[in-house]
Chain A
């Protein structure tokens, strides 16, 4: 783990027409070339943090700094060269091919009156190769599986060549096999391309298996922050998810198994 690239300080957020705070003073930091997950149950504020980081929603108090620069001072283009964003997989308005979707990751480098050049096309192809999905190049994005779409969006983020990658629940619509496949690719990206990854997850076990650092939040407050080995335990799960679990060890890895009544 390297130096701190992203720092969130005392972040507050509330919707314009709605009185109560959704984020109530969240602080954490992200180190370079590592995977950090924001873990929490549904409705805990994960997505809100994500939208604030992505600059889609404006937080009401606090600050977010990238390399010690507040992000509100960055214009969209500067920001898109620092952060790439992987949204949850979705249906676009028009049936683009996978390659056309990935090529859109080059937008930060292409002028308003210009189109992608050879270098942009090469970068997009390389992103497809890195994730081993070249065979999907000419397939329609609307016709492929959820896991493949998620990988396509990740390839688009790779083509963006930003040092920090934000992923919003990359596994939420996927079956177990695809969840693991996608998270393994994300780990490969962090390791081989030296990209700092920050993602939201709601499954503590996946968070435990795939992250260097976990930030646990609940009801808009940070509950814990640290290495998964140090902080993910039976009490924390009880507190955050209101669920009785037992910690099991298997091949040196720890798993949290729910205890069912009777």
Chain B
């Protein structure tokens, strides 16, 4: 039964991604989509360069792959941060990582075009999480509620800085910043897939190999130390890799909240808290969640609704549900 659930979760992003290829504002019949795909992979038919071919291969396909990568990055970084801070109520969005990345990107878009946007995003998101962490840190231990509160503070601070930039920047660029902040995959192309593939790969692969450590780190500072672990160093490694994943994702698609909170929670409910399985499955489930959310956002109306709005609409009630269910599982002792 457990193996079956694992198999379903691993296959789901590929299945969702395949289905999503057939859906979209421009009606292309299924036979044509399959023909285009077969032509591209096996070269069995020869197809002229038609608009249909361009839509499937250069618009839908990169967008779906990017959504999958970004979903895996957000969810993977959520499960990692929840583990090291032993706090099921946090994600990159709550800790201010997304806001920090947004500020870094806004500077680049607004003023400093010559600096790579991912670099600025990474620097400021790392700064944000380190500030949140240090505000909440007591005697080596990070308590739950203070961490959430310090995340709120840091988030608000960086969001205010972004507002200053929005205020100062010329209106032309303002529009770009505002749209991008809402979180959307509408600008996806193969270049962004390449950047995402490298950046997110470089951060999720080490997290995958270190995943068992999250079990031990989630016992807390004193016990993990007694089990021979260099807690401070390993926490920093995990924070660094998960921040890299989120900052690359944010720089490409803007702020997409709540995925890192919801998906690891759902996977934990289904499969249990052992990070050996939880971490990889969070990657896969995050990818399928994001592909599904993005497909909804681009097919629900004739507009391309920013996907960040969809995830926030589903995320807020989920958070309230967790708080209301409350008790031991959420707050521990």
Q: How far is the CB of A141 from chain B (nearest CB, A)?
A: 10
Closest to A86 in B: B226
Query: A87: CB under 8 A from chain B?
Result: yes
Asked whether B272 lies within 8 Å of A95 as measured between CB atoms, the reply is: yes
The reply to whether A160 and B88 form a contact with Cβ atoms under 8 Å apart is: no
B227 touches A95 (CB 8 A): no
Contact residues, B202-231 vs A (CB, 8 A): 206, 209-213, 215-216, 218-220, 222-230
Docked complex Cα distance between A85 and B332 (Å): 22
- The answer on a CB contact under 8 Å between A107 and B211 is no
Of B86, B211, B212, B227, the residue contacting A93 (CB under 8 A) is B86
Cα distance, A76 to B212, chains bound together (Å): 18
Question: Please, how many angstroms separate the alpha-carbon atoms of A100 and B216 in the complex?
Answer: 10
Chain A residues, Cβ within 8 Å of B86: 92-94
Task: Specify the chain A residue showing the minimal Cβ separation from B328.
Answer: A91
Q: How far is the CB of A166 from chain B (nearest CB, A)?
A: 9
Give A30 to B2 CA distance when docked, in angstroms: 48
Query: Does A12 have its Cβ within 8 Å of any Cβ on chain B?
Result: no
A157-200 to B contact mask, C-beta < 8 Å, 1/0: 00010000000000000000000000000000000000000000
> Cα distance A198–B278 when bound, in Å?
37
Question: What bracket does the count of chain B residues touching chain A fall in?
Answer: 20 to 34
A90 and B223 CA atoms in complex are apart in Å by 11
Set of chain B residues within 8 Å of A115, measured between Cβ atoms: 211-212, 276
B35 beta carbon closer than 8 Å to chain A:
no
CA distance A191 to B117 in the complex (A): 63
- Any chain A CB within 8 A of the CB of B268? yes
CA distance A232 to B274 in the complex (A): 47
- B87 interface residue (CB < 8 Å to A): yes
Asked if B234 lies at the interface with its beta carbon under 8 angstroms from chain A, I say yes
Q: Say whether A77 contacts B228, CB under 8 Å.
A: yes
- Let me know if B229 and A107 touch, CB within 8 A: yes
Residues of B within 8 A of A81 (CB): 228
Whether, in the assembled complex, A59 has its beta carbon less than 8 Å from a beta carbon of chain B, the answer is no
Residue B146, interface by CB 8 Å: no
- Could you say which residues of chain A place their CB within 8 Å of the CB of B329? 95, 142
Contact A93 B332 (CB under 8 A): yes
Check A55–B225 contact: CB distance below 8 A: yes
Q: Mark B233-246, 1 if CB is under 8 A from A, else 0.
A: 01001000000000
User: Given A77-B228, A83-B226, A96–B276 Cβ distance below 8 Å?
Assistant: no
Q: Are B227 and A114 in contact (CB under 8 A)?
A: no
Given known A80-B228, A112-B210, contact A87–B223 (CB-CB < 8 A): yes
Residues of chain A lying within 8 A (CB to CB) of residue B224: 107
Given contacts A95-B273, A95-B329, 18 further A-B pairs with CB under 8 A are A75-B230, A76-B230, A85-B223, A91-B333, A92-B86, A92-B218, A93-B332, A94-B218, A96-B272, A97-B272, A100-B273, A104-B227, A110-B212, A112-B213, A112-B234, A113-B209, A113-B210, A142-B329
Q: Can you list 28 A-B contacts with CB-CB less than 8 angstroms, sorted by A residue number?
A: A54-B226, A55-B225, A56-B225, A75-B230, A76-B229, A80-B226, A80-B228, A80-B229, A81-B228, A87-B223, A92-B86, A93-B218, A93-B219, A94-B218, A95-B272, A97-B272, A100-B215, A100-B273, A100-B274, A104-B219, A104-B227, A107-B228, A108-B227, A112-B213, A114-B212, A115-B211, A116-B212, A160-B227
A residues adjacent to B (C-beta < 8 A):
54-56, 75-81, 83-85, 87, 90-97, 100, 103-105, 107-108, 110, 112-116, 142, 160
